[in-house]
Amino acid sequence: MKKGLVLGIYEAEDENNISLTPTAINYDELVKGKLRQNIFLAGPKIPKGHARVFWGLDEKDYAGIAVVGLGKKNLGINQLEEIHEGKENIRIAAAAGCRALDAVEIKDIQLEALGDAEAAAEGAALSMWFYQGLKNKEKQKILPKVSLYGQEGEEQWRIGSIKAQAQNWARHLADTPANLMTPTIFSTEVHTVLTKLGITVQIHNEEWAEQKKMGSFLSVSHGSCEPPKFIEIHYKNADNSQPIVFIGKGVTFDAGGISLKPSADMDEMRADMSGAACVVAAIRAAAELKLKLNIIGLIPLTENLPSGTATKPGDVVIAMNGKSIIVDNTDAEGRLILADALCYAQEFNPSFILDIATLTGAMRIALGGAATGVFTNNSTLFEKLKNAGTLSGDRVWRFPLWQHFTDEMTKKVKSADVRNVAKIKGGGSCTAAAFLREFVSNNTPWLHLDIAGVMGPGPDKLPYIPAGMTGRPTRTLIQFLQALC
Closest-CA residue to 362 (of 384, 328, 335): 335
State the catalytic residue, choosing from 107, 236, 261, 398. 261
The CA dihedral of 273, 317, 360, 478, to the nearest 10 degrees, is -40
User: What distance separates the 2 farthest-apart alpha carbons in the chain?
Assistant: 82
Closest-CA residue to 49 (of 8, 19, 107, 105): 8
Q: Are 168 and 277 in contact (CB under 8 A)?
A: no
Closest-CA residue to 281 (of 148, 433, 470): 470
In sequence order, which residues have a C-beta less than 8 Å from that of residue 411 and are 6 or more positions away? none
Q: Mark whether 45 is an active-site residue.
A: no
State the catalytic residue, choosing from 171, 335, 419, 437. 335
Ramachandran bin of 417, using left for φ above 0, alpha for ψ from -120 to 50, beta for the remaining angles:
alpha
Q: Mark whether 261 is an active-site residue.
A: yes
**∠ Cα 231 342 285 (to 5°):** 50
Burial of 163 from C-beta contacts in 10 A (0-12 / 13-18 / 19+): buried
Q: Are 98 and 124 in contact (CB under 8 A)?
A: yes
Sign of the C-alpha dihedral, residues 238, 242, 244, 250? positive
CB atoms within 10 A of CB 444: 17
> Mind telling me the catalytic residues?
261, 335
